[in-house]
Amino acid sequence: MSSPQDLVRPCDIKGILHSHSRWTDGAHSLGSMVETAREIGLEYLGISDHYRSEAHQEGLDLGALKIQLAEIERLRRENPGFDVLQGIELDAEPDGSLPLESETLAQFDYVIVSFPENGGYDPGTFTEQVMRAASHPSVSILAQPLGDLMLRQQNGILDMEKVLEAAAAGRTAVEVTTNPTCSELDWTHCRRAQELGVFMSISPNAHRAARLVDFRHGAERAREAGLVCASILNTLTSEELRRYWASGEIPR
Q: Which residues contact 5 (CB under 8 A, 6 or more apart)?
A: none
Across the range 77-88, mean pLDDT stands at: 98
The answer, yes or no, to whether residue 228 has pLDDT greater than 90, is yes
Q: Is the pLDDT of residue 14 over 80?
A: yes
CA atoms 150, 116, 207, 199: torsion sign: positive
| Nearest-5° Cα angle at 155, 152 to 159 | 60
CA distance 110 to 92: 15
Q: Which fold has domain 4-247?
A: TIM Barrel (3.20.20)
Mean pLDDT of 60-66: 96
Q: Please say if the pLDDT value at position 147 is more than 50.
A: yes
Region 135-151: mean pLDDT is 79
Q: What are 27-61's pLDDT values in tens digits?
A: 999 999 999 999 999 999 999 999 988 778 788 99
Confidence of residue 184 (pLDDT cuts 50, 70, 90): very low
* Residue 44 or 176, more confident: 44
pLDDT digits (tens, 9 = 90+) for 89-130: 999 999 999 999 999 999 999 999 999 877 778 888 999 999
Most distant CA pair in the chain, distance:
50
pLDDT at residue number 155: 60
User: Which has the closest alpha carbon to 240: 110, 139, 111, 144?
Assistant: 110
Task: Specify the pLDDT at position 150.
Answer: 57
CB burial of residue 24 (10 Å; 0-12, 13-18, 19+): buried
Position 181 scores a pLDDT of 63
Higher pLDDT, 182 or 17: 17
How confident is the prediction for the chain on average, in pLDDT?
90
Mean pLDDT of the region 170-180: 88
